[in-house]
Chain A
Amino acid sequence: MSSDAPRLVDSFTAPKEVLEEFAELAEDENYDPFAETASKRQIASRQSDYHNRRFSRQANESADAFRASEEGKDVEGGYKEAMRLQRLEKEEERVRRAIEDKERQAREEGQAKMDLDKTPPRAELEEAAKELSIPGTKRKRRWDVAEPSEEENKENKGGEWSKEALDGAAPKKRRSRWDATPADVSAPGETPKRSRWDQAPAAAPDVAMTPIIMNAPGFMHEDKHNRYLTDEELDAILPTQGYSIVTPPPGYAPLVRPPKLSATPITEVGFHIQEGSDAAAAAAAAGLAPDLPTEIPGVGSLAFFKAEDAQYFAKILKEEDETELSVDEMKERKIMRLLLKIKNGTPPVRKTALRQITDKAREFGAGPLFDKILPLLMERTLEDQERHLLVKVIDRVLYKLDDLVRPYVHKILVVIEPLLIDEDYYARVEGREIISNLSKAAGLAHMISTMRPDIDHADEYVRNTTARAFSVVASALGIPSLLPFLKAVCRSKKSWQARHTGIRIVQQIAIMMGCAVLPHLRNLVDCISHGLQDEQQKVRTMTALALAALAEAAAPYGIESFDNVLKPLWVGIRLHRGKSLAAFLKAIGFILPLMDPEYVSYYIKEVTIILIREFQTSDEEMKKIVLKVVQQCAATEGVTPQYIKQDILPDFFKAFWVRRMALDRRNYRQVVETTVELAQKSGVAEIVGRIVNDLKDEAEPYRKMVMETITKVVASLGASDIDERLEVRLVDGIIYSFQEQTTEDQVMLDGFGTVVNALGIRVKPYLTQIVSTILWRLNNKSAKVRQQAADLTTRLAVVIKQCGEDQLLSKLGLVLFEQLGEEYPDTLGSIIAAEGAIANVVGMTQMNPPVKDLLPRMTPILRNRHEKVQEATINLIGRIADRGAEFVPAREWMRICFELLDLLKAHKKGIRRAAVNSFGYIAKSLGPQDVLQVLLTNLRVQERQSRVCSTVAIAIVAETCGPFTCIPAILNEYRTAELNVRTGCLKALSFVFEYVGPQSAYYADSVVTMLEDALTDRDLVHRQTASTIVKHLALGVAGLGCEDSMLHLMNLVWPNCFETSPHVIGAVMDAVEAMRVTLGPGVLLSYVLQGLFHPARKVREVYWRIYNSLYLGASDALVPFYPDLGELSEGQNVYDRHPLQMFV
């Protein structure tokens, strides 16, 4: 042992890290194991920073200008106001940024000594922290950290969500506004301007917001049992003499802030059992999470309740004297209760609450409703389910409120727009639906005036979502109505942002509406065409992208609409570089397929020069676009093979057929796709000839890429183009790459199979080599290699036979036979499948090893539980039973029959089906008696699936050997006094009649007595199955003269029409339908007429159902059978059918 080996100690303890971990856990008693997953369910914590920029948006009230002007009032907070606010916001943003820059600069200079690589000393950190926390900096302040002045500001004034509450819920970047002295310190009700700016923080809050921390366990709640005693109370309690009030020691600060602000929701709840599966509730039950109420007065029990909910629903959490409340306050509480029920309630609670809130929507009014709903949606801890429900509420309420919603359009948009860029598809759909309904309710003019200010918003996020929202408006109200506005926006002189957004709207419209843009294509293209020459690069890029989207949506029509942009596009690709060039190329790529074949070649020639130049690009995005455009060029009709071969292929292969491309998955696929597309034009030989040598490349991923391309090209175009020399190289390369592969996947195998099958008889010279490769690999020590070799045999068997190399096949067959002791099930499955493939092509008589040796070898393998093995084995056995049963002794077949019963339990349907079919083949060669006996005995087993499969097998035996061999045995077995057996017999019989069809006419009379018994049995299932038999029987014997016995059965089936169990009634109805076919609709009508106007509704319902089926099945045939009801005529209504009473 070397000296630096660890010293051995004589006692061991747990590693230090573990101990530390436990110590940490012990310290942190409130550790919540669910917290981690809870945060994943929260939308905000999952999403990217970009998505979360929605929290920094502000919404303004958009007054209903239309209504106001109708009522002759002055409009405030309208479009003008919105624009003013927007300008202010922009200016503010600019100033803020300037301040930030300045501060950063100052800080960088001052703190240059602070080395970020190592932890700075504590003092320095504190200093830095102080510096960072000065107002106006970007650092977000934790809002729950005590900071009285701010806390006070945040106090919510009765539901003004847009102002305080929103900001309380979502900390903003723009904190500075809070610190600013309010300009006008009048009461909020008098504030004339609705802007958030100049509104004073509410002076007299009626309820304080409850900070989350208040809910933490151990925090002193203020309720009447547990609160601080005031000085007055103490004076009253304690004697006045003998006591003096001691002043607190200097430096003492109370640990907890006097809780005068926290009207904490405390409900007097005793012990209750937590309900719901929600993590929060479960955690609460385990005593892990903060103790939260699940019982709210007036709401009842909820599925869960989150700490964050307390702040929104504070008012309804405590019990109040309702008589003291004003009407509005009552209404507000009512809304809150309903919302809480919807958001947190159990499904039935939620459902009724949702209906109530919908019904009363107009009564509540838009204001109070949205003041409550929208802040909830902006909550950071919102989860998918809650969002879904709240969005649903908005949707329902919108319908009811209609144009009352106008003042809230912007607020709703601010909340809903983020859904449009959500990564969840359903959220996007929901968002679209809401905005579409909103635009229908508010009207186009109002939507435009509300959203117009956001079009040139400083924040790209806002513009992006606004553009998407506008596209939804366009699809809801029609493109034509939005076109004038779009035209104006796209030509905006004031800001490039407006133009950019306008063009983006067009792009989104194209993406969303697809081919529905066609009627307006010209207008849309004209709208944005000038953007290609815009002075702003971003606008040009966006224009090109929008054109690409339009062309993609319009394909294959509408080239004439793009006439105006062709020139700028094609000129543009010579002028631009980088991103905008990529966008231009993309647009061209999508426009090319629309063009006439005559002109397209000119345009392609123009663009090819640029494409070839860009082949060299190192930019990944550009590479992908270039490949895509090449693919699109090659797919157009107008481009000649000659041109592709001469001008594109050399550079293309030089640039893209390099090892590097095989490493990135997306590049790999794009290159393969493009090459295959080029091959469609230039031919197999051209492409394969260029890459075939790379099959021997040393990089395996690259070989794979080559192989995949060759596979696809050969599969679609065949191998007739390939000349002799290429063929040699190709086969050589394929064998090499197959042998050299180290990874196990399908590509090489598929390639080998495809190419060899395409070459067909031409591979004969190489077969010896290929087969020796296979033989060698079949003995490889790796199971995967053996499996692949076997799989390859499966694919090559047909071709080897075509080439007449039976010798090789028999050799392979023998080697595979020797391999049947394989222990890896996957490999064994492949080996058996290969043996089966060989048996298939050579036939049973020539098969080597002979069938009589092969089959006994398979019998024990049948017991293998592996699905692949089972399936391959049963297929092979079935094949032998079908084609060469006579080569195997009967005893062996019986043995197999018993083994096959086990396979009836298999999970895979294919296996069960193959097993059932094998019974048929075996019965055919052995005679049905023994097989039938096995199967009938199997009806006694417990397992249902096994019994069902046995019945199917019996039916198949009946079909293959003739029903007369089976029906007597089944009828005999039916006499067994065992329920399972009798049901099994009935089922077997139903399959028999289903399979034999018209032959059943010979057996109808012999089964009638048994059916009588079954149809009058007390057991429901008996009657159900018997009805199924009747159905198959009746359909089988239709028109074959069995009406008498069928009528008898009909009489037995008919009373069952009042059954209520779904399966039974289904079977009975089917039987009745089948009777319509056999007995004719007239007979059925006479049955139905009895009950159509029966006094009992339940009877009428059933009879009308049957009547309807009858009517839909044979309405014309019923005409002569309708009863003559002329006697019912009264007054103007004559019910005689006169035309039927005429005769010559």
Chain B
Amino acid sequence: MSSELRYTANTQLEHLHARYTGTGHADLTKYEWLTHQHRDTLSSIVGHPPLLSYLAIADGEAVGRVKFEMTERMLQPCGPPPAKEE
């Protein structure tokens, strides 16, 4: 509430931000933020074919396989979420 009051002119901006995945807020945990970073990294690699083939050469794998693995990794790139602390 307080932040909304402070940015009255930009409240809509906050709401707009909240509608997108990957955006954060003051209470975001380390795990959540880093998961977003990892997903962005993976999707960036998949989305840039030269980078993908570079990784494929480094790994000695087929491009398709690397792509597949990257895509699969996006599900939980940093492992399962840590147990919530009360």
Contact = CB atoms under 8 A, between A and B. Distances in A.
Given A1100-B26, A1137-B38, A1144-B54, A1105 B17 contact: yes
Contact of A1119 (B34, B41, B57): B41
Given A1139-B55, A1142-B55, A1143-B58, A1116 B79 contact: no
B45 A1139 contact: yes
A792 to B, nearest CB: 49
3 closest Cβ contacts across the A-B interface? A1062-B9, A1132-B79, A1100-B26
The interface centre, meaning the residue of B17, B25, B26, B45 with most chain A CB atoms within 10 A of its CB, is B26
Interface in B2-18: 2-3, 6-10, 13-14, 17
Given A1097-B26, A1101-B26, A1139-B55, A1119 B44 contact: yes
B47 interface: yes
Nearest to A1096: B26
Interface in A1076-1131: 1092-1093, 1097-1098, 1100-1101, 1104-1105, 1107-1109, 1111-1112, 1115-1116, 1118-1119, 1122, 1125, 1128, 1130-1131
7 contacts: A1065-B10, A1093-B30, A1108-B17, A1112-B23, A1128-B34, A1139-B45, A1139-B55
Contacts of B13: 1105, 1109
Contact of B23 (A1111, A1119, A1132, A1135): A1111
Contacts of A1133: 31, 34, 78-80, 82
A244 interface: no
B41 A1115 contact: no
B63 interface: no
Contacts of A1139: 41-42, 45, 55, 70
A1068 to B, nearest CB: 11
B58 A1142 contact: yes
Contact of B6 (A1060, A1063, A1144): A1060
A1112 B17 contact: yes
B17 A1137 contact: no
Contacts of A1135: 34, 38, 78
Interface string B20-53: 1011111010110110011011101101000000
A1130 B30 CA distance: 11
Contacts of A718: none
Contacts of B24: 1092, 1104, 1107-1108, 1111
Contact of B37 (A1069, A1122, A1130, A1134): A1122
Interface string B48-86: 000000110111000000000010000000111010000
A1086 to B, nearest CB: 15
Given A1122-B37, A1139-B55, A1066 B10 contact: yes
Interface string A422-461: 0000000000000000000000000000000000000000
Contacts of B57: 1144
B22 A1111 contact: yes
Nearest to A1099: B26
B17 A1118 contact: no
Given A1062-B10, A1100-B26, A1133-B82, A1109 B17 contact: yes
A1142 B60 CA distance: 12
A1144 B78 contact: no
Interface in A247-304: none
Nearest to A1137: B41
Given A1065-B6, A1069-B10, A1134-B79, 11 more contacts: A1065-B10, A1105-B10, A1109-B17, A1112-B23, A1116-B44, A1131-B82, A1132-B79, A1133-B34, A1133-B82, A1140-B41, A1144-B57
Nearest to B82: A1133
Nearest to B30: A1128
Contacts of A1109: 13, 17
B3 A1101 contact: yes
Nearest to A1135: B34
B8 to A, nearest CB: 5
Nearest to A1061: B9
A1027 to B, nearest CB: 14
A1143 B55 CA distance: 8
B8 A1062 contact: yes
A1066 B70 contact: no
B17 to A, nearest CB: 4
A1132 to B, nearest CB: 4
A1131 B12 CA distance: 39
A1119 B40 contact: yes
Contacts of B45: 1139
Contacts of A1093: 30
A13 to B, nearest CB: 65
A1105 B79 contact: no
A1071 to B, nearest CB: 14
A1143 B22 CA distance: 28
A1122 B34 CA distance: 9
Nearest to B57: A1144
B7 A1065 contact: yes
B48 to A, nearest CB: 8
Interface in A777-811: none
A1082 to B, nearest CB: 14
A1137 B37 CA distance: 9
Contacts of B44: 1116, 1119
Contacts of B25: 1101, 1104
A873 B64 CA distance: 71
A1116 B23 contact: no
Contacts of A1116: 40, 44, 47
B14 A1105 contact: yes
Nearest to A1140: B41
A1111 B59 CA distance: 30
Contacts of B33: 1092
The interface centre, meaning the residue of B2, B34, B58, B70 with most chain A CB atoms within 10 A of its CB, is B34
B14 to A, nearest CB: 7
Contacts of B6: 1060, 1065
A1097 B70 CA distance: 35
Contacts of A1060: 6-7
A1099 to B, nearest CB: 9
A1116 B46 CA distance: 11
Interface in A740-763: none
Contacts of A1118: 40
A1104 B10 contact: no
Contacts of A1100: 26
A1098 B6 CA distance: 10
Contacts of B79: 1131-1134
The interface centre, meaning the residue of A1060, A1097, A1104, A1132 with most chain B CB atoms within 10 A of its CB, is A1104
B72 to A, nearest CB: 13
A1130 B7 CA distance: 37
A1104 B54 contact: no
A1104 B33 CA distance: 11
Contacts of B55: 1139, 1142
A1064 to B, nearest CB: 10
A1115 B57 CA distance: 26
A1108 B23 contact: yes
A1131 B80 CA distance: 10
A819 B38 CA distance: 77
Contacts of B58: 1142-1144
Contacts of B20: 1112
A1112 to B, nearest CB: 6
A1065 B9 contact: yes
A850 B13 CA distance: 56
A240 to B, nearest CB: 76
Contacts of A1111: 22-24
Given A1101-B3, A1128-B30, A1139-B42, A1115 B22 contact: yes
Contacts of A1092: 24, 33
Nearest to A1059: B6
B79 to A, nearest CB: 4
A749 to B, nearest CB: 46
A1118 B39 CA distance: 12
